[in-house]
Amino acid sequence: MTLTASPDQSRLKSADTRQTILEARGLTKSFRGFVAVDKVDLKIQRGGIHALIGPNGAGKTTVFNLLTRFIPPTSGNILLFGEDITRQSAHALARHGVVRSFQISATFPHLSVIENLKIAVQRPSVSPGRFWQSSRSLAHLEERAHHFLELVELKKFAQVAAGELPYGHKRALELATTLATDPKVMLLDEPTQGLGIEEVDHITQLIKRFSKERTVLMVEHNMRMVAAIADRISVLRYGRIIAEGSYDEVSRNPQVIEAYLGSKAKKENQQENKQGNKQ
């Protein structure tokens, strides 16, 4: 399709790119002939939480790795604000604000929570020529560090070394240090993995709270969490998007039900076989 540059069309285009922050077009990845991600089209719109779900091995992490440029696609394109970024490095992408939690947010275990946050809030603004900050801007950074400390409810732990924090709080700190870099899109791969029930609820509430002014793409297995906070859901199966919409919409979709029931039945079968083998 060719676009002629009529004023109306250019207005439409700018309205569209304002809405869509990150986009995948025909994104495909094969590993030695095995197609793990197959012509995926995905639009991450500004604001709120977009969840990517699907049974084990559906290709969720691979999509994530492609979107954050951890691995190169076999074909297809990735666009950020309408601009093709398919060939950019993971670092360049992070600088443009496409940030994966635990990517540049690695916390320093021997430093306290507040020290970690102070370092994180300097990241977006410090360029090589601006290492020495005025005392006014340092005061501003201090304020921002405290803002994130409160946002993730870690005030009580401000002086505790990051490495000493309970696991759930460590996750909260990692979220805070990622948030502090002011990402345009924040990508979370299974943020509740390995957490106990109470910690899951806590992290869920935190993500919900900060997503109000942010854009989040998350891969998550915990359906209760997805149902509670995702604004939009894309369902992957065998590397393809099979459904998209709200939780109510996708959970009623027969293909989605089949995908989940099918994978559940497969798991149960495998378990039965294992038990059968033991007997």
Ligand X SMILES: Nc1ncnc2c1ncn2[C@@H]1O[C@H](COP(=O)(O)OP(=O)(O)OP(=O)(O)O)[C@@H](O)[C@H]1O
Minimum CB–partner distance for residue 63 and ligand X (Å): 7
- The window from 60-68, 110-118, 247-255, 270-278 that contacts Mg ion (CB under 5 A) reads 60-68
- Token pair 């039945």 is found at 265
Q: What is the rounded distance in angstroms from the CA atom of residue 6 to the CA atom of residue 170?
A: 52
Residues within window 173-202 making contact with Mg ion, judged by CB under 5 A = none
Q: What is the rounded distance in angstroms from the CA atom of residue 230 to the CA atom of residue 170?
A: 23
In this complex, which beta carbon is closest to Mg ion, that of residue 62 or of residue 105? Answer: 62
Residues within window 41-60 making contact with ligand X, judged by CB under 6 A = 54, 56-60
| Strand pairing class (98-100; 48-53) | unpaired
In this complex, which beta carbon is closest to ligand X, that of residue 69 or of residue 118? Answer: 69
* Cα 183 to Cα 25, 121, 175, distances in angstroms: 22, 11, 11
Is residue 202 within 8 A of residue 154, CB to CB? The reply is no
DSSP 99-156: EETTTS----TTSBHHHHHHHHHHTTT--GGG-S--HHHHHHHHHHHHHHHHHTT-GG
Minimum CB–partner distance for residue 189 and ligand X (Å): 8
> Of the candidates 23, 27, 40, 62, which one interacts with ligand X according to CB under 6 A?
62
Minimum CB–partner distance for residue 75 and ligand X (Å): 16
Q: Does 263 bind Mg ion (CB under 5 A)?
A: no
Give the contact letters, 218-247, x = binds to ligand X (CB under 6 A), - = no.
Answer: ------------------------------
Return residues touching ligand X (CB under 6 A).
31, 34, 36, 54, 56-62
